[in-house]
Amino acid sequence: MTHPDAHGTVPGTVPVGGWTPWGTWDPAAGRPAAVPVPPVPAPAPSRVLPAALLAGGVVVGLSVAAVVGSLVLRGAADDVGRAAGAAMGESMGQSMGEALYGGAATEYHGSGGVLGPVEQSEPVPPADLGPDPVLDAYAQGCFDGDLQSCDDLFVESPPLSPYEEYASTCGGRVKAWTVPYCTDLD
Confidence class for position 3, pLDDT limits 50, 70, 90? low
Of 49-58, 101-110, 130-139, 156-165, least confident by mean pLDDT is 101-110
Closest CA to 164 of 152, 175, 174: 152
User: pLDDT higher for 101 or 168?
Assistant: 168
Write the DSSP symbol of residue 172: T
Task: Please check the confidence at residue 159 and state whether its pLDDT lies above 80.
Answer: yes
- Quick one: average pLDDT of 20-36? 53
φ/ψ bin of 46: left (φ > 0), alpha (ψ from -120 to 50), beta (otherwise): beta
Is residue 182 within 8 Å of residue 170, measured between CB atoms? yes
Identify the pLDDT of residue 154.
Answer: 95
Reported as a single tens digit per residue, the pLDDT across 65-97 is 888 777 777 777 777 777 777 777 666 665 454
Cα 122 from chain centre? 51
Confidence class for position 105, pLDDT limits 50, 70, 90? very low
Identify the pLDDT of residue 103.
Answer: 44
- Quick one: average pLDDT of 7-24? 55
186 contacts: CB under 8 Å, gap ≥ 6: 112, 147
